[in-house]
Amino acid sequence: MEITITQNQDSPQVSVMHLQGTLDGSTYQGFISEAEKLFDTGVRDLIVDLSGLTFLSSAGLAALHRIARVYRGEDRSNLEEGWGALRVMGNDRNNGFQKHIKLLNPSKEIRNVIDMVGFTSFFEIFSELNPAMASFQ
C-alpha cells in the first residue's frame, strides 16, 4: 500500500492521508505507524482518503479503530490489536462518531465493508474533501 500525506495550509492540525492499494494484514502496521507519526507531530484531526483503496480486510478495520482511539488521546500501551480491537468497538457505541477521524470517498466495495461491520456508526463518511475539512470546525 502506498500512503501520501497532504496538509491543509489553512488548518495545519488537519492532515489528509491518501491510501492506495490494499489495507490488510501485510500493510495495516504501516498505516498505524504513519497515522501515529502525524499525531506525534501535532496533527489532531485526520481525514483518511479511501478513494484509492482497493481492498479492506479485518486487519485494516482494526487499524482504523486503533488510530481513532489514538486520536481520541487514549494511552497507546493499552490499545488492543486485531480481533480484540474489533470486539472493543461494542463498548465504543456510546461515544458516537469519532470527532478526530473522518473517512473520505470510499469505493462502493469498500463502503459495503464499512457498512457491513457497522463502522458507519463510528466514522463520518464524506464524498468531498471540503465538507470533510469543514466538519472539524
CB 55 within 8 A of CB 22: yes
> What is the CATH number for 40?
3.30.750.24
* Mean pLDDT of all residues belonging to the chain: 86
Supply 113's cell numbers.
465493508
Number of domains the chain contains:
1
For 77-126, what is each residue's pLDDT tens digit? Answer: 765 554 555 555 545 554 567 899 999 999 999 999 999 988 888 899 99
Burial category of 13 from C-beta neighbours within 10 Å (exposed 0-12, middle 13-18, buried 19 and up) = middle
Nearest-angstrom CA–CA distance, 72 and 50: 21
Supply 71's cell numbers.
486520536
Q: Could you tell me which residue, 7 or 137, shows the higher pLDDT?
A: 7
For 33-82, what is each residue's pLDDT tens digit? Answer: 999 999 999 999 999 999 999 999 999 998 998 899 899 888 777 655 54
Nearest-angstrom CA–CA distance, 103 and 123: 7
Range of the domain at 113: 2-134
